[in-house]
Amino acid sequence: MQVDVLNAKELKKAAPVFGQLSFDNHEQVVFCNDKDTGLKAIIGIHNTVLGPALGGTRMWNYTSEWEALNDVLRLSRGMTFKSAITGLNLGGGKAVIIGDAKTQKTPELMMKFGEYVDSLGGKYITAEDVGMETADMDLVRDVTPYVTGISEERGGSGNPSPVTAYGVFMGIKAAAKYQFGTDELEGRSVLVQGIGHVGETLVEYLTNDGAKVYISDISEERLQEVRNKYGAIIFDEADVYSAHVDIYAPCALGATINDDTVKRLNCKVVAGAANNQLADEVKHGQILRERGIVYAPDFLINAGGIINVYAELEKYSRQEIMSKTENIYNTTLQILETAAREDITTHFAALKIAKQRIEDRKKSSLK
């Protein structure tokens, strides 16, 4: 029997895990497969210098396994910096389950996934993300202690989405303060793209603060529901990115700021809940800066959710959760001012602070 052996150059062309553009010295990538339940999942552990890798599980109907891998690598890396800049003693991790959450998610699949999480012995702690509900985390909790965001009835912090939305709201107000000279949103136009759990709650905060809120989503049913509930305006034009609004808040999936969209933006501020909003952190961050568009780094302003679930590990109160989340306002303002002073992008300014905290911890652990 003849066995073909790839040399290093050919292996890189084959785009293995280590050859992925999104691979950034991740510590561990775990592929999970179970024939009986249909589970196909990938767990990405990016960095555990500050503590165990905590990050949500996303269930999405990816077009390919490579798309799923790319997503989990990008998301887990983002979680590292999110925890670091927020001052939490956590590393960065994330998980994706390949499939349609509405039709393929079963209790058996979730518990089997929980067994894979448990096999990592606490190096990765999971939580809720897109396609997941608090009830799913309760199922995972049946087979492993390494899960957060479980129901309040079971001693958890519950759905993290409202706290995530509050942190994004704080980030929006800070960006408005920097760009417009005031954090008052009365009369400001805001386009919220994606009105899931977080997006809807953000719409509520913005509406209560007097903003003129436009909404965009792939689900017509959700659009009607949120419009009727909060009086938001459905954005019905074809091109969301060319909308003449003060603030664009991406709250769906990532990479909406890309080569195709970045030069079409007509907003003054980009600040939303989505992870990895910049398809290319360096290039697109620089273009936004050159165009005078203030970008509030996503991994900073959407950190409310991880603050919320971290409370389960540290046992701090609801009041402390909200206080820490409210501080996102001050940190965002600090980042925007630092970027202007040092003549760098806001993304790079935030990344620098996060990386420095990790490096400092690494050095102190060697002493």
CA dihedral angle for residue 222, residue 226, residue 228, residue 233, rounded to 10 degrees = -100
**Residue 225 corresponds to which tokens in the numbers above?**
């529901």
Ordered structural domains, the chain, with CATH: 18-78+91-154 (3.40.50.10860), 161-355 (3.40.50.720)
Burial 274-294 (b: 16+ CB within 10 A, else e): bbbbbbebeebbbbbbeeebb
Residue of 97, 106, 33 whose CA lies nearest to 59: 97
Reading the chain (367 residues) residue by residue, the pLDDT tens digits are: 455 554 545 544 555 677 776 888 999 999 999 999 999 999 999 999 999 999 999 999 999 998 999 999 999 999 999 999 999 999 999 999 999 999 999 999 999 999 999 999 999 999 999 899 999 999 999 999 999 999 989 988 888 889 999 999 999 999 999 999 999 999 999 999 999 999 999 999 999 999 999 999 999 999 999 999 999 999 998 899 999 999 999 999 889 999 999 999 999 999 999 999 999 999 999 999 999 999 999 999 999 999 998 988 888 888 999 999 999 999 999 999 999 999 999 999 999 999 999 999 998 877 6
Strand, helix or coil for residue 206: helix
DSSP state of 196: S
Catalytic residue among 40, 82, 94, 123: 94
Contact criterion met (CB below 8 Å) for 113 and 43: no
Pairing of strands 39-47, 91-98: antiparallel
User: Is 307 annotated in some ligand binding site?
Assistant: no
DSSP state of 249: E
User: Is 197 annotated in some ligand binding site?
Assistant: yes
User: Is 194 annotated in some ligand binding site?
Assistant: yes
**Residues recorded for the chain:** 367
Contacts of 205 (CB under 8 A, 6+ apart): 165, 166, 169
Known catalytic residue at 94: yes
User: Is 96 annotated in some ligand binding site?
Assistant: no
